[in-house]
Amino acid sequence: PMSLDGGEPALSSSVEVPIMVVNKAMPVFEKAFYSLEIPENIPLLTPVVHIQANDSEGPRIVYTITEGDPLNQFSINFNTGVIQVVKPLDFETHPAYKLSVRATDSLTGAKAEVFVDVILEDVNDNPPVFHCKLYNASLSEASVIGTSVLQVSATDTDTGNNQV
């Protein structure tokens, strides 16, 4: 813009006004929600899901897990959105997780959140334990083949088809 005064001779002055366009559009996730099943004995540091959000202004998204992981068993790469398991999981104590992931535009601060449902698949990972440490049995010489000699029992803490 330019300005003129009303005097004789007329004098003028110009000024530069910087204009900054601010994008306040929220990041948009590629999916409305994420859901996955993983075995409870998955090796640590295995990537399990890739969360992605887009911003109309380009790749300035930062990812964080905000809720649903009380024991910090999952980690998200803040630049890529890849979630991996960082501590052992156990179906018997915590069979499912509902993680809340936040995508933040690192320039404008605009945020969006998405849920990630993680369901653990039970595996046979707990050894059976006998109810007694030592069992004794006696057998007569005259016993016939197929005679029951001793009954023992054992249990484990697995569930469903994996349980003894």
Half-sphere exposure of 160 (CA within 13 A, CB side): 9
Q: How far apart are CA 15 and CA 61, in angstroms?
A: 36
Give the CATH superfamily of 28-121.
Cadherins (2.60.40.60)
Exposure of 8 by Cβ count < 10 A (0-12 exposed, 13-18 middle, 19+ buried)? exposed
DSSP summary character for residue 121: E
Question: 131 near 155, Cβ under 8 Å?
Answer: yes
- Structural domain spans, the chain: 28-121
Beta bridge partners of 47: 84
pLDDT digits (tens, 9 = 90+) for 109-157: 899 999 999 999 988 766 788 888 888 888 888 888 888 888 888 887 7
Is pLDDT of 61 > 80? yes
